[in-house]
Amino acid sequence: MENTKKVQPFDAFSVSYKILILCGFFKLMRPTTRFRYICFQIYRPLSFLIVLVFIVQHSIYAVIKVMDNKLDKALDAFILIPPELNLLSKLLALNLHSSTVDKLNDVMRDSIFDARNQEDEIILTKFVSDMHQLTKNVEIGMGVAEILYILSPIFKRIYDPASTIASYYPFKLDNWGRYTIALLMDCSFLPWIGNGHVSLDCLIGIYYSQATIQLKLIKYNLEHLFDSDERNKDNSRNMEHQYIDVVDNTIQERFEHYVERYSKVKWYLQELHKVFSGAIIYQFASTIIIACPVIYKISFMDFFSVQCIYLTVYLIMLEIQIVLYCYYGGLVEYESISLNDSLYMSDWMSASPKFRRQMLIAMAQWSRPLTPRVAAIVPLSLNTVIAMLKFIYSLYTALISTNNIN
């Protein structure tokens, strides 16, 4: 018998959560055996320990180089520390608010957000496929960044035998053997620090996109609210003066469902904000902080050098993290702004005066758009990304001009 399992909104998270669970950053959804559950409970603290060790190594190295007055080398470690702390903040947000996250996930599995017709099913299926592809593409981008992260110290060592890795090790890197061992140790953390981190970013982006797709489904169904087969039957009986919501009593039920569905989306965004707001604020701050030293270093480099390409890709990945939040957060506002338009485009004139009054009440509630914000000030929108890019470009131009003058 053919499997006819319907797609659910929660299916969009499957790739992201799979990677996070592999990295030990989130609990097992459905532990198959007690032995596996116990092993995973041991593995999870070790994953957090890996992140902490990575942060401590870079922090110690930066402090030592500052004390030795080697600020340029300290800068190599400093540009890595804020994103690592950002990873830690997201992990804490996800796990300390795990009960709220479970509630959000339960809503995604609840029937209120399910597809109610064939068109809903098509939209949801495409959405799930797009989110899977998004996660895979971001992971590929991180894979490129990780390769450049490995190549950068190798080429630095080739050109400068005295160069070191920007991380603390309890032994001197005075020959290629020790240098290789240190590099392998450093790279062994990358699946957690790199792939695990961007999976968290994709997860947050998908959480916001869930609100977008629900608003899109509500809009589509409100626009086609009065499309009914009952009307055609009654027209054939010369009952053209009957109001459509009187002829088809399912219209009232469907309208009430979408009003309730919108309220659930609004609640969902409020709960989502409680979980990730702090981590997103730090993401904005850390990206701006890191952009300054990264651009400063790039302004002194040959543009086609491995080190310059690595730092450029590193900066791009930082921006992608911001874009994920702002793009999907901006779509939430866009879809909510045009929600009332869907009722205008419906055949509302065929509804009874009583039903039209209900529509007006709902439209009054929907007139204020849902705008995701961090710190209650900064909107998650592409305008915010553009403002950040303008700042980064202005800073780069200023530093290049200063270097040319000098």
Domain assignment present for residue 385? The answer is: yes
Domain assignment present for residue 2? The answer is: no
How many Å apart are CA 275 and CA 9, to the nearest integer?
19
Distances (CA, A) of 182 to 64, 167, 272, 298: 17, 9, 40, 25
How many Å apart are CA 314 and CA 145, to the nearest integer?
6
Contact yes or no for 329/380 (Cβ under 8 A)? yes
For the CA atoms of 36, 38, 42, 43, the dihedral, rounded to the nearest 10 degrees, stands at 20
Domain residues for the domain of 168 are 9-405
Which H or E run contains 379? strand 378-379
Would you call 270 exposed, middle or buried from its count of C-beta atoms within 10 A (0-12, 13-18, 19+)? exposed
pLDDT over 60 (residue 383): yes
pLDDT over 70 (residue 268): yes
Q: What is the pLDDT of residue 3?
A: 47
Domain assignment present for residue 189? The answer is: yes
Evaluate the CA torsion angle 32, 37, 38, 39 in order and state its sign: positive
**pLDDT, tens digit (0-9, with 9 covering 90-100), for 44-74:** 999 999 899 989 999 999 999 888 888 888 8
Contact yes or no for 206/154 (Cβ under 8 A)? no
**pLDDT, tens digit (0-9, with 9 covering 90-100), for 178-214:** 888 888 888 888 888 888 899 999 999 999 999 999 9
Domain assignment present for residue 142? The answer is: yes
| 373-374/378-379 β-pairing | antiparallel
Domain assignment present for residue 55? The answer is: yes
Per-residue pLDDT band at 2 (split at 50, 70, 90): very low
How many Å apart are CA 209 and CA 201, to the nearest integer?
12
pLDDT over 50 (residue 257): yes
Per-residue pLDDT band at 267 (split at 50, 70, 90): very high
How many Å apart are CA 386 and CA 349, to the nearest integer?
42
Give alpha helix (H) positions in 116-172. 118-159
Domain assignment present for residue 224? The answer is: yes
**pLDDT, tens digit (0-9, with 9 covering 90-100), for 3-15:** 456 788 999 999 9
Give the predicted TM-score (pTM) of the model: 0.88
How many Å apart are CA 324 and CA 201, to the nearest integer?
7
CB proximity list for 203: less than 8 A, separation 6 or greater:
13, 16, 17, 20, 94
Domain assignment present for residue 363? The answer is: yes
Q: What is the domain count for the chain?
A: 1
> In this structure, what token pair is assigned to residue 274?
């409680």
Domain assignment present for residue 1? The answer is: no
